[in-house]
Amino acid sequence: MEDKNIKIILQYDGTRYDGWQKQGNTVQTIQGKLEAVLERMAGCPVEVHGSGRTDAGVHALRQVANFHLPMSYFRGKENSSALASVKNYLNEYLPEDIRILDAQEVQPRFHSRLNAVSKTYIYRIETAEKKDVFERKYRYGLGTMPDLEAMRRAADLLIGTHDFRAFCSVKKMKKTTVRTVSRIDIRREGTQLELLFEGNGFLYNMVRILVGTLLEAGLHERSVNSVREALLSLDRSQAGKTAPAEGLFLADVAYEEKISQSMQ
C-alpha cells in the first residue's frame, strides 16, 4: 500500500469563504485552505475530497472529507500518534474559523462524497425585529413570525422521492435531479426557528430554495398547494426565493458503517 486514506470530520464558519470548492479566482475556500496546510505537512500535494460543496457563506457543524497521505509520513510513528499529529497540525495552522474534530484512517475505497448515504442540513431563522448581536452572522433575519402550520403542510408535500428540478439554481443539469427528502422538521424556540432537512442528497441551492418556498407559504405569499404545483412544474421560476446563505449549516453526513469504519 503506497498511501493511507484519512477521513476527517470538521466544522467551519463559512462567513468569509467563497464556499467549499477550490477555485482558480480565489484563495478563500475551505478545500483550498485544507490542501495548502496538508501540502506543507506532507511535503507533497494532497487532494481533499469533501462530502459536499457548501456554497459561499454556508457553515458546517460536521462536514466530512478524506484525503490520501503517503506512507512516508507514517514511517517510525504509531498509527494513533500519527493520526493525532495530523489533527493537531491542521488545527494549529488552519484559520480559527476552521476546526478539525477527528481524524482516522479508513478503508482505501472510502470516498466522503460517493459513499455518503444521507445528509442533514439545518437552517436557522430569527423572527424578532432585530437579530441577536452574537448570532447575527448565523441566522436569517426574517423579522416576523410566519404561519408554522402552513409551512408544515407545505413541507409534507416535499417529503419523498421527487424530481426537484424546480428547486435547483442550475438551469441545465447533466445528471438526474431526482432526490429523496426523508425528513423536514420545523421547530420553534421563542423567536427563533430551525428547519431541518434530511435526504440522500441535495442539488445546488436546493435547501435554500426549499426554505424560501416554505417561508412564502408561511407568510401567505403563496398557497400551500402551490408548493406541490411548483414541484410538479420542474420550473425554477415557480418555486420560491433562495434564502440567504448565513442561516444554513451542514449538520451531519451519514455512511454505511462497513465502508466508513476506522482501520484502527
> DSSP assignment of 15-34, as one string?
TTSS-SS-BTTBS--HHHHH
Q: Residues 59, 81: contact at Cβ < 8 Å? A: no
User: For residue 54, what pLDDT is reported?
Assistant: 94
Q: CATH code for 3-114?
A: 3.30.70.580
Active site amino acids: 55
Write down the domain spans for the chain: 3-114, 118-251
User: For residue 24, what pLDDT is reported?
Assistant: 82
User: For residue 79, what pLDDT is reported?
Assistant: 75
Does 118-251 match 3-114 at the fold level?
A: yes
User: For residue 100, what pLDDT is reported?
Assistant: 98
The count of C-alpha atoms lying within 13 angstroms of the C-alpha of 214, restricted to the half-sphere facing its C-beta, is 29
For 118-251, give the CATH class: alpha beta
From the first residue on, what is the mean pLDDT of each consecutive set of 10 residues in the chain (264 residues)? 90 96 90 97 95 95 97 79 93 98 95 96 97 94 98 98 95 88 98 98 96 98 98 97 97 84 61
User: For residue 27, what pLDDT is reported?
Assistant: 86
Confirm whether pTM is higher than 0.85: yes
Q: Residues 63, 12: contact at Cβ < 8 Å? A: yes
User: For residue 206, what pLDDT is reported?
Assistant: 97
